[in-house]
Structure 1
């Protein structure tokens, strides 16, 4: 069995959740000893598509014509396309229709959560839809004092400085507006938004937030990986993720794997696998501020329970589930 993993615009998406999911798939197949390639000119048994661009559609049509099986990874829905790129809300209904062409042509749809599976089923998709987490590499996010020092030195932070971090693209969907409002209400705390994208792909009001319309205690350092980011995930006082819509939220898994205190917006994607027992939740700015006050005061610590969630979604467990999905698809 050989898998063609295909991610259109891989360089552009490498810093996104989809890009990290693709890397997790590669790691999972290596762990299970399954042959895979990213080269479309090589022979393969299953095409595993991660994107929905025109080149991806061409790949899908070629695969079906050649009698190959096709798995489409449901990273995206109409709901999580909205409130993202410039003009996304206008395009969203057309995007859904376009996306349906991929879902309907697939032999299997894999999507990260039960919630995203329900959404895709509500579109009228008839092929099997299988929830499999994007997974997490636990070892990568274990605490490391050198990485924590690199983080604090990079931002010039004192040991006693309270720090709240997040990681996301500059989208309203990701809650960038509420993140700014919370930072304004907590001027004694340093807030850091990790992530970057071309500013001309987002609405003007978001662009202005990133460039100048934010409080001094909020930093936008861009995309940072390696020791500084991994040190931030363990050294910060809280990971605050106010996203309004996700199909899973890989960065939340990264925070849980880091044994980090986490605050997320109370949205349906977490139902069934993440609750108030493992993370703090709120629905609006005042709720976020209240929850952060409790966390920063040391009154709330759910890190051990959160870590157990991450342990249930390790790359090793995902690898086993992926291989079963591939084998079942070949037998369809």
Structure 2
């Protein structure tokens, strides 16, 4: 039995996709490989593989200890991808960005959730041979389509009408997430109901906090901010949505998109390079606000196109399902153990 020690604090802060990805992986490994892998969480001592999910300073120091086995780093972000998320003093930012790369360089092997990270990590001096791309995934037991009757009941309980056109966005309330565009879209479409499920996971150091906090406290009448909600509630929002919309300017590999796919929710996204590489053809793309507004208006009046998008979402979810990724993770851990 292969001993794998998971080091993570990803689930300590609510509303983070990193936490969702971590919990999905732990659940999947314990479910599919109970006799092949011995999964330990934040343990000290000997291990064949130590998988670092977050970049805590104490974890960095632990990389210098013996008996850690093969050190695997999970890369969910790079310094440049943090722009628009956190507002830090220049010196603090410089030091933190240097630390992020120093942490990654302490690893024996890197796993990226975003294939566009690979050439960027190479520029930081990490060999391509030491990097593996494994996408995020979601469990179909947690995220799946509900019947029309159940969706209608949830809408009623949440205060929405059965025939309301509902657009849902999820994630932290940050500048890079395009929340201000989401609000502007709500103002331009008063006949549509908008919901942004998420909050300020990092409080006042969130980039653009003052402006975003003012919006959350005083939104347009048709824009709702329920705050940070549990996964079982997020699941309901995906299901009552006629459209899932993520207007982010910069993304990693958002779990929210995979969760929406798994629920069969039509998806519309800003046409980022990341999406072009991994999910192009499964969503409605836009490049600017006018295109986003035009696409929304067209979809609202085109039921057939929405149904076709729903089918595409379910098709995409098959590739990013737990079952498909389980075998990939198994092969990866076995190969890394042989390298140790």
Greater alpha carbon shift after TM alignment, 248-257 vs 299-308:
299-308
Q: Measure how far apart 1:2 and its partner are.
A: 1.0
Instruction: Select which of 136, 139, 149 maps to 2:138.
Output: 136
Contact 1:150 1:228 (C-alpha < 8 Å) held by counterparts: no
Instruction: Work out the CA distance in 1 between the residues paired with 2:262 and 2:329.
Output: 21
Instruction: Work out the CA distance in 2 between the residues paired with 1:93 and 1:120.
Output: 17
Instruction: Select which of 6, 26, 38 maps to 2:41.
Output: 38
Instruction: Select which of 28, 49, 52 maps to 2:52.
Output: 49
Instruction: Work out the CA distance in 1 between the residues paired with 2:227 and 2:220.
Output: 16
Q: TM-score, normalised by structure 2?
A: 0.89
Aligned pairs for 1:87-106 within 5 A? 87=88, 91-106=92-107
1:209–1:39: structure 2 CA closer, same or farther, 3 Å change rule?
A: same
Q: Measure how far apart 1:185 and its partner are.
A: 0.7
Aligned pairs for 1:123-272 within 5 A? 123-126=124-127, 128-145=130-147, 148-149=151-152, 151-198=154-201, 199-202=203-206, 203-212=209-218, 214-272=219-277
Q: Measure how far apart 1:91 and its partner are.
A: 5.0
Aligned to 2:70: 69
User: RMSD of the TM alignment (CA)?
Assistant: 2.1
Contact 1:259 1:307 (C-alpha < 8 Å) held by counterparts: yes
Gaps of 5+ in 1: none
Contact 1:192 1:220 (C-alpha < 8 Å) held by counterparts: yes
Instruction: Work out the CA distance in 2 between the residues paired with 1:325 and 1:286.
Output: 43
Aligned to 1:310: 317
Residue-by-residue CA offset, 1:195-254 (whole Å, 9 max, x unaligned): 122542322122222222x31111110122355421221221100001112221111011
Aligned to 1:86: 87
Aligned to 2:301: 297
Instruction: Work out the CA distance in 1 between the residues paired with 2:150 and 2:51.
Output: 35
Gaps of 5+ in 2: none
Which 4+ residue blocks in structure 1 deviate beyond 4 angstroms?
Answer: 88-93
Instruction: Work out the CA distance in 2 between the residues paired with 1:9 and 1:115.
Output: 22
1:234–1:10: structure 2 CA closer, same or farther, 3 Å change rule?
A: closer
Question: How many aligned residue pairs are there?
Answer: 327
Instruction: Work out the CA distance in 2 between the residues paired with 1:122 and 1:296.
Output: 44
Instruction: Work out the CA distance in 2 between the residues paired with 1:122 and 1:210.
Output: 39
Q: TM-score, normalised by structure 1?
A: 0.91
Q: Measure how far apart 1:93 and its partner are.
A: 4.3
Aligned to 2:122: 121
Q: Measure how far apart 1:24 and its partner are.
A: 1.3
Instruction: Work out the CA distance in 2 between the residues paired with 1:44 and 1:153.
Output: 51
Aligned to 1:26: 26
